[in-house]
Structure 1
Amino acid sequence: MAPNGDAAVAAAPAPAPKAARRQAKPRRISMEGLQRAMSDLALELARDRKAADAKPQPQQLLPAITEQQVEDARCECCGMQEECTPEYVRRVRERYCGRWVCGLCAEAVNGEADSRHGGRTEEALAAHMAVCGRFNRVGRANPVLMQTEAMREILRKRSRSNSPRDHGPGGALARSSSCIPAITKDFN
């Protein structure tokens, strides 16, 4: 290396020009290829349309909801009213013991049946209807009283123990006598 640093400069690569430093632009998709793909798709659709026109098939279209008979159904739990088709009302009544329940109450009944009643819909429906009936009698007329009762229920649940020891059966193993005499007998 020269004392003035000429060799160091000559050995270092020259910086690339600005144009070379820019990244290469992504390749553009040619319009010709895109138009060819569109025309191929149009050709296939035209062939399918001609084939469908050649073989007339009876189409079974469902009637529009406005053309179907719609009736108002009132939930037997909460009293909410919905517009439903008679077929839907019939299916709901079959599932919920002849009673029509709205979607919100149906979810509550299903959750109640799964968690507390072992999947029995009848008992869960009766429990949910009792809660809704109590709410309609007390809650709507006096919301403060309903809030007080809800707080009481929360406190009642919190006062119960969450320990699994308290929920299980009593001590299964109990010692009837001491084993010390048997051990001392073996030593003698």
Structure 2
Amino acid sequence: MAPTRDNYPARVALYTQPTPTPPQKPPKLSMDSLHRTISDISAELRKEAEAASHELNHKPLPPISEVEDAKCECCGLSEECTPEYISRVRAKFSGKLICGLCSEAVKEEMEKNGGQIEEALSEHMSACAKFNRFGRTHPVLFQAQAMKELLKKGASSRAKSLSPRDLNKGAKKGGIARSSSCIPALTKDMIE
């Protein structure tokens, strides 16, 4: 069915929407109510500040601890500490005052020796005393001595080379056996 003039306006009315009304602006607040709100807030803040200062005036402040220079009995490092901290450290480490670095080293030493704090503390203190006596003045020699001790520890812990005599006695089998030293052969060639 084709649109005719008679039913045309009815169809157009179906597809058209009424125009929305523009949003209205909110009503303006009066300056009096704004001033009243600000003064209420400031009055509340003033009351809180007065109450806080009143509480502070009646509560005594804790005494301020003076810091003092404390010298580590192991390494000799000086650091600023409060007397309370010094007493806590002394109680923890058998009356010795040690710095934080040394306390960590002592804890590591305790893990090695099974939790004996006295042994760990004396071991660390002897290592620090040895370093302070020799290592600070001669660092290269101290490093060479440390390497020498490391090699000694390694040599004593690893298996000794097997000689043919040890194989006959029923020692470990499967290792490389050394029959003799090559030094005499080398010196023989040098002499000739």
Partner of 1:107: 104
Partner of 2:124: 128
Q: How many residues align?
A: 115
1:41-75 CA-partner distances (Å, limit 9, x unpaired): xxxxxx9x9889879867787666xxx21111110
**CA RMSD of superposed structures (Å):** 3.0
Please tell me whether residue 150 in structure 1 is matched to residue 146 in structure 2. yes
1:73 alignment partner, SS class:
strand
Partner of 1:137: 133
Greater shift after overlay, 76-85 or 152-161? 152-161
Structure 2 portions without partners, runs of 5+: 1-43, 160-192
1:93-129 CA-partner distances (Å, limit 9, x unpaired): 0000000000000000001001x22111111000000
* Superposition map of 1:1-188 within 5 A: 68-114=65-111, 116-159=112-155, 160-161=157-158
Greater shift after overlay, 87-96 or 153-162? 153-162
Structure 1 portions without partners, runs of 5+: 1-46, 163-188
1:82 alignment partner, SS class:
strand
Give the Cα separation in 2 of the matches to 1:156 and 1:50.
Answer: 78
Give the Cα separation in 1 of the matches to 2:82 and 2:119.
Answer: 27
Offset of residue 156 of structure 1: 2.5
Give the Cα separation in 1 of the matches to 2:88 and 2:141.
Answer: 37
Give the TM-score, by structure 1 length.
Answer: 0.51
2:76 alignment partner, SS class:
coil
Q: What letter is aligned with 2:133?
A: R
- Work out which of the two has the higher radius of gyration on C-alpha atoms and give 1 or 2: 2
Offset of residue 158 of structure 1: 2.7
